[in-house]
Amino acid sequence: MNPNSIRIIDKYLGRPICFGLTIMRKVFPARKAGKPSSILFLKLVEQGATVLAYSALQKAIDQVGRENVYFCLFKENRPILDIMDVIPKENVIEIRMSNIFIFAIDVLKLLIRCRSEKVDTTIDMEFFSRAAAILAYLSGARTRVGLHRFKSELPYRGDLMTMARKFYRDTPSYRTSKRYFLNPSAIPLNVY
């Protein structure tokens, strides 16, 4: 699959999936979350943005320990995370894009791993992708931090985050790295 195919899938399948999962979330609300014990970052694309996430990863490590921080990305973007060496290599979860079947298998493996590792918190670092929001919801994590459009004209990603962060398009000085750093700050460190 090429990036254009992914955009088309995200646009035409992502919208109805986000809508359906949002209805599911409203009909079957989850129990309240407690103190986080393991955190999954979702940043599927853009290697450079992964570098900007370094301080956010460090903050998460300080909160739950290095062995309890995971990162999901497309396989093509993995080298930069390995060079950064901020989390254990076995905690990097790759999704291959060679074809739709391998992609689906890797997504299924991710969801199974999230549940077996008892990931209770996800941080969706994508700005516009619906796929990351969908994966965050399907991971089973009770705490989901990510961008939400609220009343802006940004792409529809449903209402899948438990801690929605506003995207300020009109403030370019609000740097991406600062936005990433603030995402782990949204996670409550005490039990509700």
Range of the domain at 17: 3-28+35-185
Half-sphere exposure of 37 (CA within 13 A, CB side): 9
Task: Report CA-CA distances (Å) from 110 to 45, 95, 117, 126, 142.
Answer: 16, 8, 10, 17, 16
Edge to edge, the sheet with strand 121-124 lists 92-95, 69-74, 39-42, 121-124, 143-148, 163-166
Region 151-178 average pLDDT: 67
Please name every residue paired with 122 in a beta bridge, in sequence order, or none if there are none: 40, 144
Choice among 6-20, 72-86, 131-145, 153-167 with the minimum mean pLDDT: 153-167
When mean pLDDT is compared across 81-90, 112-121, 134-143, 162-171, the lowest value belongs to 162-171
Quote the number of domains for the chain.
1
Which among 12, 27, 44 is positioned nearest to 136, based on CA atoms? 44
Which segments of 13-144 does DSSP mark as H helices, in order?
14-27, 47-52, 54-64, 78-84, 100-116, 130-138
| 167 has a pLDDT exceeding 70 | no
Any domain includes 79 = yes
Residue 173 domain flag: yes
Question: Does residue 18 form part of some domain?
Answer: yes
Contact by Cβ (8 Å): 15, 130: yes
Confidence of residue 62 (pLDDT cuts 50, 70, 90): very high
Q: What is the pLDDT of residue 55?
A: 87
Within a domain: residue 52? yes
Residue 4 pLDDT grade (very low, low, confident, very high; cuts 50, 70, 90): confident
CATH number, domain containing residue 56: 3.40.50.2000
Is 149 within 8 Å of 134 (Cβ atoms)? no
pLDDT-derived band at 186, boundaries 50, 70, 90: low
In a domain, residue 192? The reply is no
> Which segment of 27-31, 87-91, 96-100, 181-185 scores lowest on mean pLDDT?
181-185
* 191 within a domain of the structure (yes/no): no
Percent above pLDDT 90 for the chain? 53
Round to whole Å and give the CA distance between 148 and 157: 7
